[in-house]
Structure 1
Amino acid sequence: MSFQLPLGKKIAITGPNGSGKSTLLYHFANNKSRLTISPKAEIGFFRQMSYQFTCDETVWQFVKNRSDYEDGMLRSVLHAMQFIGTDLRKKVKALSGGEAIRLQLSQLFLGENNILLLDEPTNFLDIHAVEALERFIKAYQGTIIFVTHDQAFIKNVADIQFEIKEKDIEQI
């Protein structure tokens, strides 16, 4: 297949389960096959179901150690993703699945990426976290390519939607 993704857009990739959506994101992230990706691309990748931490850092240490933003910005993003008060002192390895996903998404938006790949980012998030994610996506200056089955989420944030069906991809 051959297609081009425009810069600075929010791009949804949809299709039935097993059609290759997650595999396509993996190939983007790892520059596999015959992909042409700009050497200036700094890719951040949120992988579905990869929300377990083994490090001994707190939520605050985890974000602070991986971002050059000022403390106020870090606190603002964490607060938007419902990390407040004593939540900042929780050990990341003790976070629930939903908390870990919110932390990973926070860290991605605070990173030095200009392309974000999000594989089913709304899974396990409550409505407040999904709304915060929508605000982050809308405000993000770079390109975001995301896979989801959540039609409301697509309607709220996608500029462009591609659908994979029968091993082909087309813009819809």
Structure 2
Amino acid sequence: NLTLVKGSQKLLTQVRFQIPYGKNIALVGANGVGKTTLLEAIYHQIEGIDCSPKVQMAYYRQLAYEDMRDVSLLQYLMDETDSSESFSRAILNNLGLNEALDRSCNVLSGGERTKLSLAVLFSTKANMLILDEPTNFLDIKTLEALEMFMNKYPGIILFTSHDTRFVKHVSDKKWELTGQSIHDIT
């Protein structure tokens, strides 16, 4: 039974849910209903959230790219994930960043930083990915690559997006947050 409060606003009241393995679940709902807060609560496993000890989570939050160091894209990805250079190059190429491999993270556009953050996420050893608005700042080619990564990902993906086409293409389940509750609207 999870009750979720942010400030003085009660977002969820005694909700129960189970996240099935191998599914892509979209959290949908109006702005301010608690989608991001719920993702953060799950990631931090606050009181009321029980996770199997086998679950290893990775989290992509909106504007995650603001925390990047002043190193090249390629170096950043390899440092953050312990991935090989060849694997890192392949991921960055799939996201359309092959021309920017040696550029500093500090000079990247918002879209390029978003792509790099997603490359880090999909290169981790996590078996559960949490993505908060991953489609912001993405061009069509990168959006298609993200859809491909998400549809092939073998673990759990829990995500939010206001892009209804994207949600339709990558979600196995849709959970709507409304009225301090969660409803499966798949």
Instruction: State the distance in 1 between where 2:16 and 2:60 align.
Output: 24
**Aligned equivalent of 1:153:** 166
CA contact (8 A) 2:64 2:117 kept: no
**Aligned equivalent of 1:57:** 71
- CA distances 1:71-113 after superposition (whole Å, capped 9, x unpaired): 332212101111113x001111221111111000001000111
> Runs of 4 or more off by more than 6 Å in structure 1?
none
CA contact (8 A) 2:45 2:51 kept: yes
Identify if the C-alpha distance between structure 1 residues 153 and 54 changes in structure 2 by more than 3 Å, giving closer, same or farther. closer
- Which ranges of structure 1 fall in alignment gaps of 5 or more residues? none
Q: Which amino acid aligns with 1:16?
A: A
Bigger strand fraction: 2
Q: Which amino acid aligns with 2:152?
A: A
Give me the CA root mean square deviation: 1.1
**Aligned equivalent of 1:22:** 36
1:32 paired with 2:49, answer no
Select 1:74's aligned residue among 81, 88, 106: 88
Q: With the length of structure 2 as denominator, give the TM-score of the two structures.
A: 0.88
Q: Which amino acid aligns with 1:101?
A: T
Aligned residues: 171
- Which ranges of structure 2 fall in alignment gaps of 5 or more residues? 1-14
Instruction: State the distance in 1 between where 2:103 and 2:145 align.
Output: 21
Displacement of 1:54: 4.3
Q: With the length of structure 1 as denominator, give the TM-score of the two structures.
A: 0.95
Q: For 1:1-150, what aligned pairs fall within 5 Å after superposition?
A: 1-85=15-99, 87-150=100-163
CA contact (8 A) 1:53 1:92 kept: no
